[in-house]
Amino acid sequence: MSSSLHDHVVHALGRSIVDGTIEPGTVMLAEELEHRFQVSRSVIREAIRVLQSLGLTESVKRVGTRVQPPSSWNALDPQLIRWRLASHDQGAQLRALTELRVAVEPAAAALAATFAPTDRSERLVQLAQEMRVAGEAGDEHTFAHLDIEFHREILRSSGNDMFACLDSAISEVIRGRTEHGFMPKHPSETTLKRHEAVAYAIVSKDAEGASAVMKEIMTRTMNELEPVWQQSPRNFS
């Protein structure tokens, strides 16, 4: 029960901060939060610790807990990405993450083709084949799960631990596209073929080919999502 209450407080406050209902600079007092959520001081204390770890708040001695501006947030944290994708900031968040993917994933695919062990590259071929089956069947949830695993495996197979650290953030944007209705029920044949082509290029040690096809995948993704963020201003932290 304590864990459930803690999660409720974290999500309620986190979403309110992210969507601007609780503005930067606002000071939150523990006793007021206890009264608002009808929970114990220990639950509030644990929830505030989580929000601090995300950069959403800071503790100010003899003042309380102060809400931080977006420039202080841990932008790549999966939970924060989830909240932002469900907020009015959805367009800007999708754009930022998609641009990150465009920059990183072709390079990761090239590194995977160069350095990935055989079992990892063969796993990518298997995932691409399973994606085709799920895609042609219109099983969008299974397809999304496989798509996440496919792109995570490429990042991890690059042998670059900085790229590998991005796997959770990129997983969230793929998951978010499905949850918020930005993925077709039946992926196009072009999409399925390109994922297979990336996998086969990696297993064949064709770094240039893997990078080129991954760039095509990312460019198509960018073009599909661009209407979502056209009216979203850029964030200059």
Selected residue with higher pLDDT from 183 and 155 = 155
Same domain, 113 and 223: yes
Residue 1, pLDDT > 60, answer no
CATH number at residue 168: 1.20.120.530
Same domain, 112 and 193: yes
Q: How many domains does the chain contain in total?
A: 2
User: What is the value of pTM for the model shown?
Assistant: 0.90
Query: What is the number of alpha carbons within 13 Å of residue 135 lying toward its C-beta?
Result: 20
Confidence at 183, pLDDT banded by 50, 70, 90: confident
CA–CA separation, 232 and 37 (whole Å)? 33
Residue 234, domain member (yes or no): no
Same domain, 138 and 191: yes
Same domain, 63 and 85: no
* 55-69 pLDDT tens trace: 999 999 888 999 999
Average of pLDDT values for 45-74? 95
Average of pLDDT values for 33-44? 94
Same domain, 60 and 45: yes
Residue 100, domain member (yes or no): yes
Confidence at 2, pLDDT banded by 50, 70, 90: low
Residue 235, pLDDT > 90, answer no
CA–CA separation, 91 and 236 (whole Å)? 15
Q: Are 77 and 14 in contact (CB under 8 A)?
A: no
Q: Give me the percent of the chain exceeding a pLDDT of 70.
A: 99
Q: What pairs with residue 66 in β-bridges? A: 27, 58
Range of the domain at 24: 2-72
